[in-house]
Amino acid sequence: MKDYIKVDEWKIIEEGFDPHYNKISESIFSLGNGRMGQRANFEEAYSGETLQGNYVAGVYYPDKTRVGWWKNGYPEYFAKVLNAANWIGIDIDIDGEQLDLAACTIQQFSRELNMKEGYLKRTFTATTKAGKQVSVESIRFCSMADDETGAIRYTLTPLNFDGEIVITPFVDGDVKNKDANYDEKFWDEVKKGTAANGAFVQLRTKKTGFEVATGMRVKITQNNSPVQPEFLSIQKEKYVALQTTIEVVKNQPIVIYKYAANVSSQNYDAATLQDVLKATLQRISDKGFDTMLAEQAAAWAEKWKHNDIIIEGDASAQQGIRFNIFQLNQTYTGEDDRLNIGPKGFTGEKYGGSTYWDTEAYCVPFYLATAPQNVTRNLLLYRYKQLGKAIENAASLGFKDGAALYPMVTMDGTECHNEWEITFEEIHRNGAIAYAIYNYVRYTGDEAYLADYGLEVLIAIARFWSQRVNWSEDKQQYVMLGVTGPNEYENNINNNWYTSKLAVWCMKYALKVAEQVKTTDIAKYNALIAKISFNGGDEATKWNDIIEKMYYPYSEKLGVFLQQDGYLDKEQILVKDLPASDRPINQKWSWDRILRSCFIKQADVLQGIYFFEDEYDMDTIRRNFDFYEPRTVHESSLSPCVHAILAAKLGDEARAYEFYLRTSRLDLDDYNNDTEDGCHTTSMAGTWMSVVEGFGGMRVKDGKLSFQPFLPAKWNSFSFHVGFRGTLLNVKVSKEGVQITNNSDTETTVLIYGKEQLVQANADVILEAQ
């Protein structure tokens, strides 16, 4: 745990430079706009520890799988989001010495991420070995308003000398992924070029053939007047630069404006990329830095209008929640149904930038409430479009008749994961995809989605489950063998309660939706069943039989659902009795020891109770929570939020708050010692859930929003925005009571503590605290 980030409600601030924290800060201060993103690397050279990272959404490379022992069914490739051309670079040379903070003496340093307006600011004063002192202020952003572009304003002031400075802004495509399996480079050069004040490189990914053209335009002013430098063109493999020497005068700033753009063959014909890039760079450099920055602030103001959570009385919690919301918005904007949300967003390479069940289980609730409906719809369509591959994936494992198994990890629908106990066994992810469809329809009321797309996915998923279970003669029930639940600290177990529960729910839901579509849109229903040869008779009979006769492990003695068969045979030790030196167990213990222990990585039975809470009474929820939580080490960032929500539901406000704290500042405080790999972007949606579903107690009940709020003791108030079926509500919970303001022209009825309340258009209701 670190605490070097300064508390501020709208900014993330680092003061002073500690090279040991540099890679952590590079993750935390990352920028993105849904289309591209980058770690907070320095513009000038840095020879210290750094992880260079620039990413273009959806542009990936299938890296050949590397495993110790090949198993049939493993995917050939792991698709990775590529480290792409670095467009931020500006080399500065002062009297033959490169400006490099690892080599200079640093007098002042600060990094500031302005979340309100969406930019990164860095300042420093440093002295070179030769004693030349300069101060620098750089401001840069990835434009939200114009998402293929970004800009930098780099101001350099010589503080104790007059003399020559050589400035070399560049675009460098000769970059590598740190996580490359065979140390290969993934890009080939297509073309490059320099012009009077601009340069570009166009690269093509090996194997996948994506082309990305990255370019820059450079403008320089000195002492507030434009300089028209003669640039020297420098070209190397996949690298272009413009170089100029400027006579600088003590205390007179020079300002380098670097306008940059990434355009890719995903969106344009590859043959036209150079022209598109040129026009884009012309557009933004004509517009100018200040206008672009103002547009950026306006775009972020619009985001915050729908997303912000305000916490009064706890600046650190306020900073934490805004940081989470900020990163989620930087990662996914929902404009493109080919894109998704990697667990690290654009902040690092870990997890390959690919899609996990995190999206459906954790991110969907956030985007449903804070973004227009089509944003979540696009997340669902992403999976719909990959249904064919999910069916192929299942077929390659021996399933048939249109059964679909969605991949554990994917970019384009192809499975990329290659550890048998997860690839083949952590199949609960299939259920999360069905659950997201349910969640979307429950929230938006968009029943038409089911007829158009949802039912087809649901049937394919249900088909998989019906083939994945088998009849046990011994038990005279259906069982599901050889699975891994969300708790990855148990592998190859039999009858994981959560997976079996979800599987049966999927079959029930598929049957229900099939009936519904049949009733509401028989033409679409008939077209679909013909397309996918759905036998509503025999198949439905089989599914109903499984629904009726599924086996779920249960302890009569404890009155809890058993995580799996035999869970109680394990030595039952509680996490509180584990020595601190043994934690995290995934770093301190052998895998064998972890597998044999009772310790739980993340919500498993409790994930099921969270999904299906309406099926259980409070006593059941409490018994399961009180049994499982004390055995849970929360070593996945996805864990605390589910526990926060359930603790809140159980009225355990203190514990709910404790879990919330663990998720909210996870990256800012580097709680798990791994932020240098990137931020835990998908679990940030879980933090939002902890506030809105936990403290706000928000649920959807029969097409209405329902709130069961409480105010954490440390706070004076908190408030959040939710969009729901055409209304935009602000919910404020304070010591005075609950206030719901309807900032839209449509009236709506909500439930507060179970009681219906009409909220007129552009009006509010107040429920005073008793």
Is the Cβ of residue 179 or residue 189 nearer to ligand BGC in the bound state? 179
Chain mean position to CA 769: 37
Cα dihedral 757→761→764→767 (10° resolution): 0
SS3 of 116-139: the string is CCCEEEEEEEEECCCCCEEEEEEE
Identity of the residue numbered 726: G
Q: CB of residue 629 vs ligand BGC: minimum separation in angstroms?
A: 17
Q: Which is nearer to ligand BGC, 147 or 488 (CB)?
A: 488
Would you tell me which residues interact with ligand BGC (CB under 6 A)? 343, 351, 356-358, 486, 488, 601-602, 636, 638, 682
Closer residue to ligand BGC in complex, CB, 637/727: 637
Which secondary-structure segment (H or E) carries 407? none
- Residue 710: CB minimum distance to ligand BGC, A: 28
Q: Which residue is catalytic, options 44, 488, 490, 539?
A: 488
Q: How far is the CB of 675 from ligand BGC (least distance, A)?
A: 14
**Closer residue to ligand BGC in complex, CB, 511/594:** 594
Measure the CA–CA gap between 154 and 256, rounded to whole angstroms.
Answer: 5
Check the annotation: does 357 bind a ligand.
yes
Q: What is the CA 90 to chain-centroid distance, rounded?
A: 29
Choose between 151 and 689: whose C-beta lies nearer to ligand BGC. 689
How far from each other are the two terminal CA atoms of the chain, in whole angstroms? 40
Instruction: Note whether 348 and 39 are within 8 A (CB).
Output: yes
What DSSP string runs through 295-319?
HHHHHHHHHHHHH-EEEES-HHHHH
Alpha helices per DSSP H over 113-198:
none
- Pick between residue 219 and residue 601 the one whose CB is nearest to ligand BGC: 601
Mapped onto helix, strand or coil, the DSSP state of residue 498 is helix
Long-range contacts of 304-308, Cβ-Cβ distance < 8 Å, separation of 24 or more: 304/116, 305/721, 306/370, 306/371, 306/721, 306/723, 306/728, 307/370, 307/721, 308/720, 308/721
Query: Which token pair is 84?
Result: 């792409």
- Tell me the longest C-alpha to C-alpha distance in the chain: 89
Q: Which residues contact 560 (CB under 8 A, 6 or more apart)?
A: 554, 605, 623, 624, 627, 628
Least distance (Å) between residue 351 CB and ligand BGC: 6
Q: Is 169 helix (H, G, I), strand (E, B) or coil?
A: strand
Q: Which residue is nearest to ligand BGC (CB)?
A: 343
Give the CA angle between residues 639, 641, 644 to the nearest 5°. Answer: 115
Q: How far is the CB of 422 from ligand BGC (least distance, A)?
A: 9
Closest CB to ligand BGC among 362 and 478?
Answer: 362
b/e per residue 523-554 (b: at least 16 CB within 10 A): ebbeebbeebebeeeebbebbeebbeebbbbe
488 included as an active-site residue: yes
Of 379, 546, 562, nearest in space to 472 by CA: 546
Residue 545 CB, shortest distance to ligand BGC, in Å, is 31
Question: Closer CB to ligand BGC, residue 158 or residue 407?
Answer: 407
Cβ at position 735, least distance to ligand BGC in Å: 37
Query: In whole angstroms, how close is the CB of 642 to ligand BGC at the nearest point?
Result: 11
Shortest separation between residue 496's beta carbon and ligand BGC, angstroms: 13
Does 477 belong to an annotated binding site? no
CA distance 87 to 281: 13
Q: Which is nearer to ligand BGC, 177 or 682 (CB)?
A: 682
As measured in angstroms, the least distance from the Cβ of 608 to ligand BGC is 14
Measure the CA–CA gap between 202 and 206, rounded to whole angstroms.
13
- 664 phi/psi in degrees, rounded to 5: -70, -40
By C-beta, is 138 or 359 nearer to ligand BGC?
359
Q: Which is nearer to ligand BGC, 376 or 484 (CB)?
A: 484
C-alpha to C-alpha distance for 310 and 324, rounded to whole angstroms:
13
Distance (Å, rounded) from C-alpha 241 to C-alpha 234? 5
d(CA 438, CA 476): 31
Nearest CA-CA partner of 94 in 128, 43, 126: 128
- 30: CB partners within 8 A, 6+ apart: 37, 38, 39, 40, 53, 327, 330, 345, 346, 347, 678, 679
DSSP string, 11-76: EEEEES--GGGHHHHHHHT-EE-SSEEE----SS---SS----EEETT-EEEEEP--SS--TT--S
- Beta-carbon contacts of 708 under 8 Å, excluding residues fewer than 6 positions away, are 649, 696, 697, 699, 753, 754
Kindly tell me the sign of the dihedral angle through the C-alpha atoms of 19, 21, 23, 26. Answer: negative
Q: Strand pairing partners for 112?
A: 13, 121
CB 356 → ligand BGC: shortest distance, Å? 4
Q: Residues within the annotated binding site? A: 357-358, 601-602
Q: Residues within the annotated binding site for substrate? A: 357-358, 601-602
Report the catalytic residues. 488
